[in-house]
Structure 1
């Protein structure tokens, strides 16, 4: 209406430039062309009305009743509109192409992610199966040693075989827990210590002592590199308490194991209320056990402190990540 009233003096002429722009954004190219042609036709009809004198005299500006001005303005508006529409179209096509490439990349990544998850799941099942087989093989070995201990000619030999059996069971228990775990790289530490201590107490507490085992374990999980040596160390310590620390009558028999995190380290404290370390040259097993504990402490890069004044108290601290 404004163009009809004011002709080339109208302020709505730039609308003809943005019509293809809007059409490109909202519709497909053919619809934008159609809308643009309708707009040009409307412009031509108004121009024709001005040039033929069909516009009411009160509305028409005689100075604009010049054909070439309408033609020049029409051509300029058309060219500018077409150029803008072309650039917008090219830009939109580029954006669509980028989006399609991103979609393709996403599909490729999604496919790779599914393959990785499948491979991880297969390897996880394979690792669990390996742990299961290792646990079964170790169980066979410990069973053979147990049978052999039953045929041993003396108590010393039977004790030596039983110690070896328990050391193997300490390793076997790690593989058993790894087989049962969702994460095959770590074990549930408190469960491991509780079950391991139960096996050792059943093996060596033949006199039926009522032993109070207290566990304060604040470490939830332990990786497999730490699990095996820690299990063997605690096996030796509990065995030492039963064989040497509690070899005299006393009011109560207590074993206390605590474990917690300290800075970037784990700290484990083992103590009993027995008589401490028995130094006896004839007890070769005790010497072997102490050597084994020292060797394993070195293996996990542990710092240790030992007190044996009327008790056995060993604390050791080792880094979470081995170098």
Structure 2
């Protein structure tokens, strides 16, 4: 039962008691008057009887009035005690409410639609440097000069949406400015409309963000420097390999033995296959992986210039969107080089014309399939030793021990060698 209900009940009881007392008094006066008149008419000589009746009536009225007033006093005393208990309860609740507001970490300030402050808590006073009395005499524009916040349109927006959050720059009493995060809520109490705002000084947060931004910028510069350094390293490795290739070429020109010249040419093209990986790494924007389609196309073009300058052989590269780490790309390039070289030298007889296809694909199980096939004469396993040559030994060694892969050879309408392996490095995909 609340305080208003108790006051209404006590007022009704008092009205009923007052009406009862007035009604009893009127009835009593009327009865006495009638009895007195009747007795006077019956016995005119009994002059003392009306007086006696009147005295008796007043005594009874006094007793009734005393009882009625006593009961009224008891009711009033009970109502007063109940009212005092309700007031104490409301006071305790108000103290808890004020304690919660004043000890909030956020500044809380209410203002009316004319932007005058209606309520502020202790946190708001501490954040802004004003006393409560000072703030309650001020307007929002004096602590937050943002014109958008002080306009009617913003207040109507808060009223329509019910809740609006934003960041702003607020001014303390000493004139210093600080960034604040503010959330506003619309509140209506009968005919009075308020905006309840919760503010927080985010200076420390902004400083941390600034530090993080500076650290990220420094990290980005450091990463760019490292990338430039790594690219420079790849560039120098590529140049050094080209120097070695040039030395082999010079030696090749001086040699007269056909077998030595052939061995030097093979070594030169193998070195080029490795150097090409480093060239693509320093030329590409990313340093983690090599685009194998582009790499194999470059490799096949260079080998055709070296071994088939007359362009008798048609070369096709069939490749999915496969990217490999530098280590895997070098190993794949070396195997493709040996298979491609073998096809150029041994697959085609007569006029030497034919077709070579280099392929690399993703398999359904996540592994990589790559290899070389041609439409040449193939080979006779009875007369050809596939394990005795350096190239074949290189292919078997790389596949088994470095790629942990398998080799599949098909000798039908030409020669096809397929290698399957599963990339195990983070940079491959």
Do these two structures clear the TM 0.5 threshold for a shared fold by scoring above it? yes
Q: Is 1:225 matched up with 2:327? A: yes
> What residue in structure 2 maps to residue 82 of structure 1?
none
> What residue in structure 1 maps to residue 132 of structure 2?
32
1:121 to 208, 215, 224: 224
More helix by share: 1
Work out whether residues 209 and 253 of structure 1, in 8 Å CA contact, stay in contact via their aligned partners in 2.
no
- Higher Cα Rg: structure 1 or 2? 2
Distance change (3 Å), C-alpha of 1:134 and 1:309: same
Q: Could you give the per-residue CA deviations for residues 253-309 of structure 1, whole angstroms, max 9, x where no partner exists?
A: 111122222232221142011122467999999711000011111212222211124
> What residue in structure 1 maps to residue 105 of structure 2?
none
> What residue in structure 1 maps to residue 348 of structure 2?
246
Distance change (3 Å), C-alpha of 1:138 and 1:285: farther
RMSD: 3.7
> What residue in structure 2 maps to residue 101 of structure 1?
204
Find the aligned partners of 1:284 and 1:205 in 2 and give their Cα distance.
23
Work out whether residues 244 and 278 of structure 1, in 8 Å CA contact, stay in contact via their aligned partners in 2.
no
> What residue in structure 2 maps to residue 144 of structure 1?
247
Q: Is 1:255 matched up with 2:384? A: no
Find the aligned partners of 1:181 and 1:303 in 2 and give their Cα distance.
31
Question: Shift of the alpha carbon at 1:209?
Answer: 5.2
- List alignment gaps of at least 5 residues for structure 2: 1-90, 99-109, 111-117, 139-197
Q: Is 1:275 matched up with 2:374? A: no
Superposed counterparts of 1:281-292, under 5 Å:
287-292=389-394
1:266 to 368, 382, 385: 368
> What residue in structure 2 maps to residue 66 of structure 1?
none
Distance change (3 Å), C-alpha of 1:36 and 1:107: closer
Distance change (3 Å), C-alpha of 1:271 and 1:37: closer
Work out whether residues 245 and 278 of structure 1, in 8 Å CA contact, stay in contact via their aligned partners in 2.
no
SS of aligned partner of 1:141: helix
Superposed counterparts of 1:1-323, under 5 Å:
19-21=118-120, 28=128, 30=130, 32-34=132-134, 95-96=200-201, 99-205=202-308, 208=310, 210-249=312-351, 252-262=353-363, 263-277=365-379, 287-298=389-400, 299-322=402-425
Work out whether residues 246 and 253 of structure 1, in 8 Å CA contact, stay in contact via their aligned partners in 2.
yes
SS of aligned partner of 1:268: strand
Work out whether residues 212 and 255 of structure 1, in 8 Å CA contact, stay in contact via their aligned partners in 2.
yes
Work out whether residues 256 and 272 of structure 1, in 8 Å CA contact, stay in contact via their aligned partners in 2.
yes
SS of aligned partner of 1:185: coil
Find the aligned partners of 1:305 and 1:284 in 2 and give their Cα distance.
13
Question: Shift of the alpha carbon at 1:21?
Answer: 3.0
Distance change (3 Å), C-alpha of 1:242 and 1:214: same
Number of equivalent positions: 257
Q: Could you give the per-residue CA deviations for residues 7-61 of structure 1, whole angstroms, max 9, x where no partner exists?
A: xxxxxx98xx7844379759945263235589xxxxxxxxxxxxxxxxxxxxxxx
More strand by share: 2
Find the aligned partners of 2:209 and 2:275 in 1 and give their Cα distance.
44
Work out whether residues 270 and 313 of structure 1, in 8 Å CA contact, stay in contact via their aligned partners in 2.
yes
Distance change (3 Å), C-alpha of 1:308 and 1:284: closer
Question: Shift of the alpha carbon at 1:188?
Answer: 2.4
Work out whether residues 259 and 268 of structure 1, in 8 Å CA contact, stay in contact via their aligned partners in 2.
yes
SS of aligned partner of 2:377: coil
Q: Which runs of 4+ in 1 moved over 6 A?
A: 278-286
Distance change (3 Å), C-alpha of 1:145 and 1:224: same
Work out whether residues 255 and 270 of structure 1, in 8 Å CA contact, stay in contact via their aligned partners in 2.
yes
Find the aligned partners of 2:371 and 2:335 in 1 and give their Cα distance.
12
SS of aligned partner of 1:30: coil
Question: Shift of the alpha carbon at 1:114?
Answer: 1.3
